[in-house]
Amino acid sequence: MRLAFLQRYISQFFEYYIVLIIRYPWLFISIPILLTIALSTGLKYQQDAFLKDELSQYVPINAQARRELQQLDELFHIDDLDPLYATRRYDTKRTGYIIVRSIANNDDDDDNVLKPIVLDTVLKLWNVIQEIRIEGPNNTTFNYPSICVKFPISPEFDEIIANILMRKSSRLQEECVSNPLITAFKMFLNGDFNPKNDTIDQVILQLVANSFSSNLLNSICNFLGGITFDEKNQISGAKAIMLPYALRHSTVFQDNLAEKWELKLANFLSQYASNTIKPSLWTYEILAIESANGRDQLIKMLFPSFLTLLLYTILCCCIPSWIYSRPWLAIGGVISAAAAVISGIGLLLLLGYQIISVAYLMPFIVFSVGVDNVFITLSAWRSTSLANSFVTRMKKAFTDASLSITVTTLTDLISFTVGCFAPFQSVRSFCMYAVSAISFAYIYQLTFFSAVLVLTSKREAAKRHCLTFRKTVSARKKRSSGLHLFSEVMPHKGHTLYWSTIREERKMMPYRNHLLANFFRTTYSDWLFKPSIRLIILILFVIYLMASIWGCMHMKLGLEPNELLSIDSNSHEALAVMEKYFSDYGSYLHVWMYNLSEINFSNRQIWAILEDEIALYEYTEYTGPSDSCDILFDTTGNMLEVSRVLIQLRHIGASNQSRAMQILRNIAKSRIIKTGLYADFFQFAEQYNAVLPGTLSTIAIASFAVIIVSLLLIPKRITTFLVTLNIITVNMGVLGFMTFWNVRLDFISMITIIMSVGFCIDFASHLAFNFAKDEGIGSFERMRNALYNVGVPIIQSASSTIIGVSFLAFIDSCVFRSFLKMIILVIIIGALHGLLILPILLTLFNCHNEIT
């Protein structure tokens, strides 16, 4: 037996430790309660510590895009007070757009938004939006024009308007960020419209056509989507129109105002109804709004989940006996898990850690872990012999359960600790809180819950009532005295009969465990050990592995923006319309050549070289022409140091962001001149490239560490090898079957896969430990005993976990629904391995180990 001395020393420690708890149970109950109360004071900081899910939470921590953005900001820093901010900005903060479509008679398509009646409705909507007011200090109010980012009016735009209106218009020199087409249409309606003999429809089409033939292609037609042409190849209409906005946010005060205004805008559009148009909103700040809503929904679901798990655990701990039922043990176990969650979160908040919405998923998992320990402990107690003394039975039950729980807790902690070093901040935050809560769950398991176990076991040994703790009376005394309340009852043949207390001669017999436990020892084991059944299961196992491999090969990678939204959010529609109608012209690619003063250009003119460099970026499938050039000189002012150019991006959507970024970066790497690149989609595209290697490396490290723990604490090499194989095949199944359930590999599935390393070994280690500890009997009999001891806890643990997380189905969030799917996959695949695959493999590879 490998490292048997370690197991022996740990067993001896637990034997001495439980004796201490038997002597002072109330001390071990009161200390965790006082500690939980003290640490719960940290919960008052959760509102201040809550970090709304910025985009950076889902971007790899070491992403190249972070460094590129930092370099761009250092070289060409620009804030929202700069007149060129609207065209030179490189961040997405406090900016967004409203996509408006026309309601068509045919629901399958969108109508022409360039119709006067549609533009008139859009204009009215925009006027209302501009007048959305928010309250400021000292009873002041602010609307969009008072907090918007302004930009200078383009001379080319004024020229086109003048040609259409046949005269110059008197207009302001600066405008808020908006759609210039709507601005022009507003001028028509305000009395500036005086065309030759054209209708408004013709003037609108002329305005759009002139912008196409001028340098305003990117400044006006970027705001029209799904442009259609007639038989003469002239513009005849468009399917969608964009209303962009940008808010000042350079100070904390301005940022708070901008946040309030965006919240009010989102609420307004969610209630807006029209017979003519359909507006939808998208802004990266909507992610923060959705994050806060998701957190609130999770908090609301915690109590129903806690209560349901409590009732389920009580049900599982009760049998048709007032003496041997354990409702208070179930209550103690669930309270212990809840106290661990409170203590874990409270401690980190007191230490100043921030918390994000995803971390609020952790209590659902820790509740389930705490409940699992109840089932393992109760099964260990019920497996002891009544012939032994109370202390002996406690030592045996507590040692067996605590060793098994120690293995599973260590594996869970190792998995989440490795997750604390994952490449995504969101994963790190979740794992940090999980490590804290699971640590407290183990501490409270060995203190509070163990003390409850001692007290309830004393009650059972004294044959007291499981609810009232009063002495039960025999059936004969009950009939003679007329007492009917505290006897054990059981229905029989339609009548209520009363059991007498256990006869004296049965005290020397082992107490009969749960009926399902006897089923696992007899009927289930007989069925599982049949050669034909074993062969069929192994064939199905091979098919399962093949399907898992196929699923892994067709796995979808990366998180898409719409998955961060609630299911009924109209921002889903905005993203879909944006990719459908506006992918031809997107944002800008910032390209800058730096350290130019260090390069010897010989006799060649530097501008010619820069033009050649820029031309390489203009002719890819994802870019268009360049716009303008910015330059910086060195400290002497004599040498050109940096040159930047903005290049129009085209045809970029969620499906090809990673490829576009890679092509553009490859161009930059191939040039002699040092070149930096940045586009606003780079940060989101980074996670497509990072999630798979990050997941695989995390699984590998966590699995290696878990295997080391198994080697130390689970006897026999072959048993450890099969547990290791179990980890590999479970994770293969989870990764592969994600494809069949339409779950992408992203940060949320990465969290559950990290959990699966620990969780999948929970079932396996319980079974393997109980199988390996028996000696002197054959492998089949050992497996019968192992299934008898842990078969019921595996079923109960799996079902309780699924019940606990099932409340996530009632939360309106794609992310949380994906989490629910992944947990179900992990639990079902892990339980099937623990009850089907591992028993067959253990008996197959240990068949030579018969009685010696």
Residue 510: closest CA among 850, 851, 789, 796: 789
Q: Supply 186's token pair.
A: 């507003």
Q: Give the Å distances, CA to CA, from 297 to 123, 294, 818.
A: 36, 5, 16
What pLDDT does 217 receive? 47
Q: Classify the phi-psi angles of 591: left when phi > 0, otherwise alpha if psi is within -120 to 50, otherwise beta.
A: beta
pLDDT tens digit sequence for 17-49: 999 999 999 999 999 999 999 999 999 998 888
In a domain, 576, yes or no: no
How far is the C-alpha of 608 from the C-alpha of 601, rounded, in Å? Answer: 11
Domain containing 653 equals 588-679
CA 600 to chain centre: 51
Element (H, E) at 642: strand 640-649
Q: From 645, 679, 713, give the residue that closes a domain.
A: 679
What pLDDT does 401 receive? 85
Residue 98: closest CA among 536, 455, 578: 578
How far is the C-alpha of 670 from the C-alpha of 728, rounded, in Å? Answer: 40
Q: Supply 35's token pair.
A: 């500690």
CB atoms within 10 A of CB 54: 16
What CATH number does residue 746 fall under?
A: 1.20.1640.10
Q: Classify the phi-psi angles of 716: left when phi > 0, otherwise alpha if psi is within -120 to 50, otherwise beta.
A: left
Local confidence band at 723 (pLDDT 50, 70, 90 cut-offs):
confident
| Whether residue 773 sits in one domain with residue 713 | yes
Local confidence band at 105 (pLDDT 50, 70, 90 cut-offs):
low
How far is the C-alpha of 496 from the C-alpha of 480, rounded, in Å? Answer: 17
* Percent of the chain whose predicted confidence (pLDDT) is above 70: 79
Measured in degrees and rounded to the nearest 5, phi and psi for residue 783 equal -70, -35
Query: Is the pLDDT assigned to residue 225 strictly greater than 70?
Result: yes
- Is the CB of residue 404 less than 8 Å from the CB of residue 376? yes
- Contacts with 738 (C-beta within 8 Å, 6 or more apart), sequence order: 551, 555, 744, 745, 749, 822, 825
| Whether residue 750 sits in one domain with residue 653 | no
Would you give the DSSP letter of residue 50? B
pLDDT tens digit sequence for 273-332: 888 889 999 887 787 778 788 888 889 999 999 999 999 988 888 877 788 788 898 999
CB atoms within 10 A of CB 434: 29
pLDDT tens digit sequence for 783-834: 888 888 888 888 888 888 899 889 988 888 888 888 888 889 988 998 898 8
- Is the CB of residue 818 less than 8 Å from the CB of residue 748? yes
| Whether residue 310 sits in one domain with residue 402 | yes
Helix or strand or coil: residue 746?
coil
Q: Supply 448's token pair.
A: 């509070």
What pLDDT does 447 receive? 94
pLDDT tens digit sequence for 442-473: 999 999 999 999 998 888 888 888 887 787 76
CA angle 446, 450, 456 (to 5 degrees): 175
Query: Is the pLDDT assigned to residue 430 strictly greater than 80?
Result: yes
- Contacts with 635 (C-beta within 8 Å, 6 or more apart), sequence order: none
Which sign, positive or negative, has the C-alpha torsion 637, 638, 639, 645? positive
* Helical segments of 281-424, H only: 286-316, 327-350, 362-382, 390-419
Would you give the DSSP letter of residue 111? B
In a domain, 117, yes or no: yes
Helix or strand or coil: residue 237?
strand
Neighbouring-strand partners of residue 280: 99
Q: Classify the phi-psi angles of 673: left when phi > 0, otherwise alpha if psi is within -120 to 50, otherwise beta.
A: beta
How far is the C-alpha of 442 from the C-alpha of 437, rounded, in Å? Answer: 9
What pLDDT does 694 receive? 84
| Whether residue 213 sits in one domain with residue 305 | no
How far is the C-alpha of 39 from the C-alpha of 350, rounded, in Å? Answer: 8
Q: What is the mean pLDDT of residues 116-132?
A: 88
Q: From 283, 306, 328, give the residue that closes a domain.
A: 283
Q: In 552-674, where do the E strands start and end?
A: 588-593, 623-633, 640-649
What pLDDT does 118 receive? 85
pLDDT tens digit sequence for 357-406: 888 989 988 887 778 888 888 888 887 877 788 888 899 888 888 887 88
Is 373 buried (19+), middle (13-18) or exposed (0-12) by CB count in 10 A? buried
- Burial pattern 196-216, b for ≥16 Cβ within 10 A else e, equals eeeebeebbbbbbebbeeeeb
Give, rounded to a whole angstrom, the gap between the first and last alpha carbons of the chain.
15
What pLDDT does 103 receive? 84
- Is the CB of residue 112 less than 8 Å from the CB of residue 240? no
Q: What is the mean pLDDT of residues 641-653?
A: 81
Letter for the amino acid at 397? A
| Whether residue 243 sits in one domain with residue 162 | yes
Q: What is the mean pLDDT of residues 526-540?
A: 92
Q: How many residues does the chain have?
A: 852
| Whether residue 295 sits in one domain with residue 272 | no
Helix or strand or coil: residue 745?
strand
| Whether residue 207 sits in one domain with residue 154 | yes
- Is the CB of residue 152 less than 8 Å from the CB of residue 213? no
- Contacts with 669 (C-beta within 8 Å, 6 or more apart), sequence order: none
- Is the CB of residue 590 less than 8 Å from the CB of residue 72? yes
| Whether residue 493 sits in one domain with residue 418 | yes
* Percent of the chain whose predicted confidence (pLDDT) is above 90: 16
Local confidence band at 593 (pLDDT 50, 70, 90 cut-offs):
confident
Residue 43: closest CA among 354, 349, 361, 360: 349
What pLDDT does 23 receive? 92
pLDDT tens digit sequence for 158-200: 555 555 555 555 555 667 777 767 766 666 555 545 544 455 5
In a domain, 82, yes or no: no
Query: Is the pLDDT assigned to residue 693 strictly greater than 80?
Result: yes
CA 766 to chain centre: 28
| Whether residue 304 sits in one domain with residue 158 | no
Lowest mean pLDDT across 79-93, 489-503, 630-644: 489-503
Query: Is the pLDDT assigned to residue 514 strictly greater than 70?
Result: no
Would you give the DSSP letter of residue 109? S
| Whether residue 250 sits in one domain with residue 102 | yes
CB atoms within 10 A of CB 513: 19
| Whether residue 505 sits in one domain with residue 407 | yes
Q: In 765-820, where do the E strands start and end?
A: none
Local confidence band at 342 (pLDDT 50, 70, 90 cut-offs):
very high
Would you give the DSSP letter of residue 466? T
Q: Supply 510's token pair.
A: 């082992």
Residue 244: closest CA among 292, 295, 181, 189: 181
What pLDDT does 186 receive? 66
How far is the C-alpha of 725 from the C-alpha of 829, rounded, in Å? Answer: 14
Would you give the DSSP letter of residue 446? I
Q: Supply 683's token pair.
A: 């940060």
In a domain, 139, yes or no: yes
Is 70 buried (19+), middle (13-18) or exposed (0-12) by CB count in 10 A? exposed
Q: Give the Å distances, CA to CA, from 700 to 58, 419, 446, 548, 583.
A: 22, 11, 30, 18, 39
Helix or strand or coil: residue 674?
coil
In a domain, 85, yes or no: no
In a domain, 561, yes or no: no
- Is the CB of residue 488 less than 8 Å from the CB of residue 471? no
In a domain, 372, yes or no: yes
Query: Is the pLDDT assigned to residue 497 strictly greater than 50?
Result: no
Helix/strand number for the chain, H first, E second:
30, 16
- Contacts with 137 (C-beta within 8 Å, 6 or more apart), sequence order: none
List for the chain the helix, strand, coil content (%; round to 5).
65, 10, 25
Q: Give the Å distances, CA to CA, from 415 to 440, 704, 823, 847.
A: 16, 10, 15, 32
Q: Supply 26's token pair.
A: 């109330």
| Whether residue 669 sits in one domain with residue 720 | no
Q: From 679, 700, 734, give the residue that closes a domain.
A: 679
In a domain, 296, yes or no: yes
What CATH number does residue 640 fall under?
A: 3.30.70
Q: Supply 336's token pair.
A: 């212990």
Is 160 buried (19+), middle (13-18) or exposed (0-12) by CB count in 10 A? buried
Lowest mean pLDDT across 144-153, 314-323, 612-621: 612-621
What pLDDT does 109 receive? 66
Per the structure, how many domains does the chain have?
3
Measured in degrees and rounded to the nearest 5, phi and psi for residue 244 equal -80, 160
Letter for the amino acid at 281? L
CB atoms within 10 A of CB 180: 20
Letter for the amino acid at 228? T
CA 406 to chain centre: 27
